[in-house]
Structure 1
Amino acid sequence: MPLAIRTDACALDFLSLGALVHRLDPGVVPFRKARNFDIHVSGGEYNVAANLSDCFGLKTGVATAMVNNPVGDLVQARVREMGVAAFYKHFEHDGVRGPNIATVYSDRGQGVRAPVVFYNRANEAAALLKVGDFDWKAIMTGGCRWFHSGGIFASLSEANPDLIIDGMKAAKAQGAVVSFDLNYRGKLWKTVGGDKRAVEVLRKIVANVDCLIGNEEDMQKGLGVKGPEVTKKEESKLNPDVFFGMIENTVKEFPNIKLVATTLRETHSANRHDWAAVLWMDGQRYISPTAQLDVIDRIGGGDGFAAGTIYGLLAGRQPQEALNLGWAHGALLTTYHGDTTMATLAEVDAFAAGTGARVQR
C-alpha cells in the first residue's frame, strides 16, 4: 500500500511528541572559557513542528512536559513565538532539584576545531511522562494529518516508548501518517540500558511507523539492521548506494515502512560541509543535489530537512520536489544561529529550484 496522506482540512496538520530543552550557546568560544551565551529553545521532535509552523505556515502542535518555573516560562514564550500549539503536562519545580527542563550545552567549534555538545538531563520532566498524561482524543479533535516522535525522547525513560506507541496508535486510528526520527544517541541510551535496550525499544516503536528518518548508523545501531559492506569508509558519507542498501535491509524487516529519508553530510571542517539527501518512497529512489555549505550552526539541520520534506508531502508535491525542499531547508537552517528556522517558504523554494546566493534586490 502506498503512503496515504489526508487532504481534508484538519485542526492540526502536524503533531509532535517529545521533550523541550534549552541550549546554552557561547558561539565559537569553547564552553569552558565562556562568559556569556545565547539561549535556544529546542528539542528534536519540537523543532520539526516549529519549522513547519514558522516557515511553511502549517498548523502544528507539540505534546510535551512543562515545568512551572522561570525556565519553563522562557521556553513557553519561545514556543508561542513559533506559532506552535502546546499541549503540556505541567510539573511543579520544588525550587531546588526539579523536575527540570533539560539543559544542553554546546559550542559551535571553528575550522579544524569540532563542535562540542553535552547535556544535563538530570530529573528531567519529560522523562516523567507516561501513558495517560495526554488525552489524544481531545488533542486530535478536528483531525490530525501527521504525527511525529523520535529516538531522543524514547531514550529518556522506560515509560516514554510506551507513550510514543500510545500516541502513534491514536493518530493512526484517525488517519494520520506516523513518522519517527531514529536520532540515535549512544550517550542517552547508556543511562536506560545501553545498546541492547535501544534496539529492543526502537524496533518495537518502528513496527508502528509509516515514515522513518535516519541514516545508516541509526539503522544499524538503533534497529540492529545489518548494512552493506563499505570498502572505503571515506567514500561512504555521500554515497547514496550505501543508504539505499541499508533501506532494502530495513524494509525487509519492517514492511510497514513506506518512506525512509536522511541527509548525507561530508564534514571537511566545522564550517565547511558537503550536503545532500536521499529519499526512498513506495519502492522508488530519489536523490537531492549536493551543496557546499558555509555553516554557522549545524545543530537542527536534520530537523530542518525533516520539516521541509514533510511539508512537501503534506502540500501534495511530488517526492523528488519534497526531498529537494527538505534538502534546501536543512541547508538554509545551518546558516542561522539556533536550532529552529528563520527561513521563508519563498527562500526555500528558490534554493530548491537552484537559485544561488547572489544578492536579492
Structure 2
Amino acid sequence: MAKYDFMSFGEAMVRFTPPRHDRLGQAEELQLGIAASELNCCVNISNLSRKMLKPQLKTAYVTKLVDTWDGDYIIKHAQMHAVDMSNVVVEPYDKIGRNGRNGKCFIEVGIGPRPGYQTYDRGHSAVSSIQPGDIDWEKVLDTRWFHSTGIVTAVGEHTATEVLAALRAAKKNGATTSFDLNYRHTLWSMEAAQAAMAELMPYIDVIIGNEEDFETMLGIKADNTDENYSKIDPMCYKRVAEKVMEDYPNVQIVGSSLREVTSACLNNWQCVMMTRNGYFVSRKYMNIEIYDRIGGGDSFASGLIWCLMEGKPEQECIDFATAYSALCHTIRNDWNLVTTEEAYDVMNGGSARVKR
C-alpha cells in the first residue's frame, strides 16, 4: 500500500488580484490567493474525496519554498485542505531574496473585450534554482498516482531534469503518472518545450492539455482550427489523441479541455477524452458567466484524475470533469471550492435556481 494516493510536483506562488475587474494600476487593495497548477490538483482531489462514510484520499505536494510569510501562507492554506506538505523543501531566507525567494503572480480579471492578464514575478524562485539531488524522488514518491506539468518543467535550469527524474521514480515505484502540458510562452520556446517533452513522454500514462497545448508542446495540430480557436469541433481532437497514442504507446489516456471565447466574461466549455476503449465527448456548456477563469484547466485535470482513481466509467469521467471545471469558472481564485454533489448536480442537468 502506498503512503499517498496522489502526489504532485510544481511551483507555488501567492497570487494578488484586484477586486472585481479593476486594473492593477488603479487598485487600492489586492485579494490574496495561491497560484500553483499542481497544488491546485492536490487541493481539488482532496476536497472531492471528502466524504463522511469513506476515507479521504491522501494527497501530498512537493516543491521548494523559502521560509518567509508567503511560503508559510502557501503551506498552511494547503494543509487546511488536508494536503500533506511535509515533503516541501523549505530553505532559510537571507532577508533580501538574493539567495532565493518565493514567486508572485498578479492577475487582472478581464471583462467584455478586455482579456484577463496574468503577470508573473518568479525570477530566482526557490523551485527555479532546484538542483539534482535536492529531492530523493524514489524515497519521496510513495504514491499510487503522480502528476506534474509543463509549467514547472520550464521554470529553471534543472527543473526539466527533475521532472524527468520524478516521472522515472514514480514509474519505478509502480505509480500511474499524469502530465498537464500547460504551455507558457513566457517561460520557453516551442522548440525547447518539444525537446523536453520528447524525453518526458515515455514515462507518462495520462496526458492532458487544452486546445493549443498539443500543437505547441508535442507538434500535433488539430485540423480545421483558426488562429484564435474561436470555433472548436471536438471531433477534430480525436485525430490529435489518436496521433498521441500512436507516437507514444505507453499513453493510456488523452484528455483535452476546449474553450471558445465569446468575451472575457462569456466562454463556451467542452472536454474530450480518448482511452484504449474509444473517444468520449462531454456536453458543451454555453456562455458560462465567468467570475474567475484561472484554474479551470487544473479543475478539469483534477476532476478527471479523481474519477479515474475512483474507477468511474469513462463517459462519467469526462462528463464529471467537464461539469466540475465549468463550475470552477464561478469561484474566485484557483481552488475549485465546489462539492462533488454540486458537480454531479450540474452534470445531470440540475437547475441554477437557489437551493434551499
Query: Do these two structures clear the TM 0.5 threshold for a shared fold by scoring above it?
Result: yes
2:271 is the alignment partner of 1:270 = no
CA pair 239-132 structure 1, distance change in 2 beyond 3 A:
same
2:37 is the alignment partner of 1:44 = yes
Provide the residue aligned with 1:149 in structure 2.
Answer: 148
Provide the residue aligned with 1:333 in structure 2.
Answer: 328
8 Å CA contact retained: 2:211, 2:258: no
CA deviation map 1:54-97 (0-9, x unaligned) = 23332101110111111211111111112111111122222113
Give the Cα separation in 2 of the matches to 1:232 and 1:302. Answer: 21
CA deviation map 1:116-159 (0-9, x unaligned) = 11111111111122332223344344xx1210000000011131
Provide the residue aligned with 2:64 in structure 1.
Answer: 65
Provide the residue aligned with 1:170 in structure 2.
Answer: 169
CA pair 309-42 structure 1, distance change in 2 beyond 3 A:
same
CA pair 135-353 structure 1, distance change in 2 beyond 3 A:
same
Provide the residue aligned with 1:301 in structure 2.
Answer: 296
The residue type equivalent to 2:174 in the other structure is G
Tell me the TM-score normalized by structure 2: 0.93
Structural mapping, 1:190-269, within 5 Å = 194-225=189-220, 227-230=221-224, 237-269=231-263
Provide the residue aligned with 1:107 in structure 2.
Answer: 108
When the two structures are aligned, how many residues end up with a matched partner? 346
CA deviation map 1:257-313 (0-9, x unaligned) = 111101111111111111110001115100001112111000000101111111111
The residue type equivalent to 1:43 in the other structure is A
8 Å CA contact retained: 1:55, 1:342: no
Q: Among 280, 293, 312, which residue is 2:274 paired with?
A: 280
The residue type equivalent to 1:255 in the other structure is P
CA pair 235-307 structure 1, distance change in 2 beyond 3 A:
closer
Shift of residue 169 of structure 1?
1.5
- Alignment RMSD (CA, Å): 1.7
The residue type equivalent to 2:89 in the other structure is K
2:178 is the alignment partner of 1:185 = no
CA pair 267-84 structure 1, distance change in 2 beyond 3 A:
same
Give the Cα separation in 1 of the matches to 2:34 and 2:349. Answer: 31
Shift of residue 356 of structure 1?
2.1
Tell me the SS of whatever aligns to 1:95: coil
Give the Cα separation in 1 of the matches to 2:168 and 2:231. Answer: 35
CA pair 331-216 structure 1, distance change in 2 beyond 3 A:
closer
Provide the residue aligned with 2:137 in structure 1.
Answer: 136
Tell me the SS of whatever aligns to 2:283: coil
8 Å CA contact retained: 1:104, 1:120: yes
Give the Cα separation in 1 of the matches to 2:69 and 2:350. Answer: 43
Tell me the SS of whatever aligns to 1:207: helix
Give the Cα separation in 2 of the matches to 1:253 and 1:275. Answer: 28
Q: Among 7, 27, 33, which residue is 1:15 paired with?
A: 7
Provide the residue aligned with 2:78 in structure 1.
Answer: 79
Tell me the SS of whatever aligns to 2:235: helix
Give the Cα separation in 1 of the matches to 2:222 and 2:326. Answer: 28
Shift of residue 323 of structure 1?
0.9
Tell me the TM-score normalized by structure 1: 0.91
Give the Cα separation in 1 of the matches to 2:132 and 2:231. Answer: 38
Provide the residue aligned with 1:348 in structure 2.
Answer: 343
8 Å CA contact retained: 1:112, 1:270: yes
Give the Cα separation in 1 of the matches to 2:222 and 2:264. Answer: 28
8 Å CA contact retained: 1:130, 1:162: no
Give the Cα separation in 1 of the matches to 2:316 and 2:34. Answer: 29
Tell me the SS of whatever aligns to 1:240: coil
Give the Cα separation in 2 of the matches to 1:348 and 1:81. Answer: 21
Give the Cα separation in 1 of the matches to 2:294 and 2:211. Answer: 19
8 Å CA contact retained: 1:68, 1:92: yes
Tell me the SS of whatever aligns to 1:71: helix
Provide the residue aligned with 2:53 in structure 1.
Answer: none
CA deviation map 1:219-277 (0-9, x unaligned) = 1111223x243266677643112211222222222121111101111111111111110
Provide the residue aligned with 1:5 in structure 2.
Answer: none
8 Å CA contact retained: 1:102, 1:122: yes
2:87 is the alignment partner of 1:92 = no
The residue type equivalent to 1:253 in the other structure is D
**More displaced stretch, 295-304 vs 72-81:** 72-81
Shift of residue 163 of structure 1?
0.9
8 Å CA contact retained: 2:138, 2:173: no
